[in-house]
Amino acid sequence: MAKREVVLEFLRCFCDADINGLKPLLAEDLQFSGPFHHFGSRFAYLQSLNDDPPEKCRYRLLSLTESGDDVCVFYDYEKSGKAITVAQLCKFKGQIIGEIVLVFDGRDVN
């Protein structure tokens, strides 16, 4: 699967609340950094999602760019009638995501 397709599959699984579907897309030593959480492993990231499962939601793709081992996606994350714009940088290790940097304005999240 091409890197851009891996990122789109990640978004699909996340928005479908398919936590098990995320596992094969992520490196064991995943580094995740976002406005509210930081994780140093795939296990810690997925455990957090299992402890507080995401609600099913939608996203609207705004932009997706790929350069070398990096894929950056901008999208509107839509849930409960509200939308926030999100920037997500995925750095790859081989064909799976090794690092995620997630950026959004946390003031709009309740």
Query: Going by DSSP bridges, is the β-strand pair 96-103/26-33 parallel, antiparallel, or unpaired?
Result: parallel
In this prediction, residue 89 carries a pLDDT of: 99
Write a three-state SS string for 2-21: CHHHHHHHHHHHHHCCCHHH
Q: What's the CATH number where 34 sits?
A: 3.10.450.50
**Is 72 among the domain residues?**
yes
For residue 109, what pLDDT is reported?
62
At residue 39, the 3 state secondary structure works out as strand
Give me the number of domains the chain comprises: 1
Domain that holds residue 52: 3-104
**Residue 109: inside a domain, yes or no?**
no
% residues pLDDT > 90 (the chain): 86
pLDDT-based confidence at 106, cuts 50/70/90?
confident
Q: What does the angle CA 41 – CA 64 – CA 4 come to, to the nearest 5 degrees?
A: 55
**What is the C-alpha to C-alpha distance for residues 63 and 104, in angstroms, rounded to an integer?**
15
Digit-coded pLDDT (tens) for 45-100: 999 999 998 889 999 999 999 999 999 999 999 988 889 999 999 999 999 999 99
Residue 33 lies in a domain: yes
Does residue 41 sit within a domain?
A: yes
Asked, for residue 110, whether it belongs to a domain, the answer is no
The encoded tokens of residue 67 equal: 């350069």
Model-level pTM? 0.93
**Is residue 46 one of the residues assigned to a domain?**
yes
Residue at 36 is within a domain: yes
Query: How far is the C-alpha of 53 from the C-alpha of 51, rounded, in Å?
Result: 6
